[in-house]
């Protein structure tokens, strides 16, 4: 199996798929990790992880997403510590139709995550 780590500039030149991630806040005031395929080809066996040491936990509802078509997305519920000070690294990985493995690292700033959190102090 071949492995390709994509940089931002080359993300679409090697694989037609490009699986990205970001933290979002929905109408229910909870935060989620949104994973989506911004590329032009399907991504297979999509998964992600956040390296240890970050003060955020993603509660996965599935082990992986077998096929993520272009423009398709899924959300996973996230819990973040209100004292989150560091940026959070999110790594997505997927395969193309030839079973080549790709990964992409992205960073969500702590400032942006805290803006998206609903932290109530009574």
Q: Which domains does the chain have, with CATH numbers?
A: 3-116 (2.60.40)
User: Which tens digit of pLDDT belongs to each residue from 48-92?
Assistant: 888 776 667 777 666 567 899 999 999 988 877 666 656 788 899
Tell me the backbone φ, ψ of residue 113, rounded to 5 degrees. -65, -45
- Cβ within 8 Å of residue 20, ≥6 positions away: 35, 36, 37, 38, 92, 104, 106
Q: Which residue has the tokens 């079973």?
A: 99
**Which pLDDT tens digit goes with each residue over 22-53?**
888 888 878 888 999 999 999 999 998 887 76
Q: Of all helices (H) and strands (E), which one includes residue 76?
A: strand 73-80
């Amino acid at each position: 199996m071949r492995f390709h780590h994509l940089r931002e500039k080359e993300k679409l030149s090697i694989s037609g798929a490009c699986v990205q991630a970001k933290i979002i806040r929905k109408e229910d005031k909870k935060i989620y990790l949104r994973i989506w395929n911004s590329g032009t080809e399907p991504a297979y066996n999509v998964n992600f992880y956040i390296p240890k040491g970050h003060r955020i936990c993603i509660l996965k509802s599935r082990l992986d997403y077998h096929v993520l078509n272009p423009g398709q997305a899924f959300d996973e519920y996230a819990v973040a510590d209100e004292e989150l000070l560091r940026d959070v690294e999110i790594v997505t990985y997927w395969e193309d139709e030839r079973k080549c493995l790709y990964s992409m690292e992205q960073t969500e700033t702590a400032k942006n995550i805290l803006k998206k959190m609903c932290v109530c102090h009574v």
